[in-house]
Amino acid sequence: MVKTFYRRGPDHRAGSPVTFLDVRRRFQFRSIEIGRWVTEPEKQRSAALFYDALCDLMLILGGTESLISLRGNLALQYGIGGRPGVSAHYTPATRSFALAKNAGPGSIAHEWFHAFDHYIGEKLFGETQKGRFASTLWLTRDDAISHPLNDRLQACFKAILLDDSGGEPSDLFRHSVKADKIAGVQYFSLPEEMCARAFEAFVQDSDCKNAFLVSGTRETEDARMGLYPSGDQRERINHAFRDYYQLLGRALRAAERQS
């Protein structure tokens, strides 16, 4: 039985079929690799799902194709490079995100933000911090490069990691630490993981809906455990993300018009 994914948004393809080559050409990904066990019908169907999901993400962020591929730095893998028990993951060393053939859908927003968080570290704190997550750096450094975009990105991290006073850990952080203690790991409370989950919530709360892009930030066990933002904090985070990506999108479009 072919699984379907709820989607509410514009028709980006005018009903036409697309391939992964179309996905790569539109967004200028560095590379796209497809696993050898992905059949031709699966490729055709998955390419359309990826194309729509990435177009929806671009629409939600108000950005351009270059934002989605991080100026051509990001690589995509589907049905390849999987890890046991992991449906999707981002690999910093290769700047690539991978989705398992049957278990990755709904994870694109989370993994994309990992890639963005990794890419933007040097933009926030300079070349010496290349290859490190901006969210992690933000907790330990106070020497961010002065720029309106950086100010708004820091406001996102503040809304996610700190309470509304800015002086104490946020509810999301406290719930994440509790989940780590129960599981006996340090994972949920990592800054990059909290920020990726907060980004998921922001994407799912947008008017454009796509369950292949993101799902599970409200009616799931993780949500009930407080591993996704809720209430007033969720609203603060969503507002901060909107402010940041709207400004970033305008800057990208202006730069591309001039080039």
Q: pLDDT confidence of 4, banded at 50, 70, 90?
A: confident
**pLDDT tens-digit series, residues 219-233:** 999 999 999 999 999
- Average pLDDT across the chain, whole number: 93
Please state which of the ranges 23-27, 42-46, 66-70 shows the lowest mean pLDDT.
42-46
85: pLDDT confidence band, cut at 50, 70 and 90?
low
| Strand bridging mode 7-8 / 209-210 | antiparallel
Instruction: Encode pLDDT of 240-251 as tens digits.
Output: 999 999 999 999
Q: What is the pLDDT of residue 213?
A: 96
Domains of the chain: 17-258 (3.40.390)
The Cα–Cα gap between 171 and 164 comes to 10
Which pLDDT score, from 0 to 100, does residue 105 have?
75
Instruction: Give me the percent of the chain exceeding a pLDDT of 90.
Output: 84
In three state form, how does the secondary structure of the chain look?
CCCCCCEECCCCCCCCCCCHHHHHHHHCCCEEEECCCCCHHHHHHHHHHHHHHHHHHHHHHCCCHHHHCCCCCCEEEECCCCECCECEEEECCCCEEEECCCCCCCCHHHHHHHHHHHHHHHHHHCHHHCCCCHHHHHHHCCCCCCCHHHHHHHHHHHHHHECCCCCCECHHHHHHHHHHHHHCCCCCCCHHHHHHHHHHHHHHCCCCEECCCCCCCCCCHHHHCCCCCCHHHHHHHHHHHHHHHHHHHHHHHHHHHHC
Residue 100 has pLDDT above 90, yes or no: no
Give the model's pLDDT for residue 1.
Answer: 52
Q: Is the pLDDT of residue 137 over 90?
A: yes
pLDDT given for residue 15 in this prediction:
85
- The model's confidence at residue 88, banded by pLDDT at 50, 70 and 90, is confident
| Residue 197 banded pLDDT, cuts 50, 70, 90 | very high
Instruction: Provide the pLDDT for residue 84.
Output: 54
| Percent of the chain residues past pLDDT 70, beyond the cut | 96
pLDDT of residue 31: 97
pLDDT for residue 128: 78
pLDDT for 104: 64
- What mean pLDDT comes out for the span 202-225? 96
What is the per-residue pLDDT across 111-132, written as a single tens digit (0 to 9) for each? Answer: 999 999 999 999 999 987 788 9
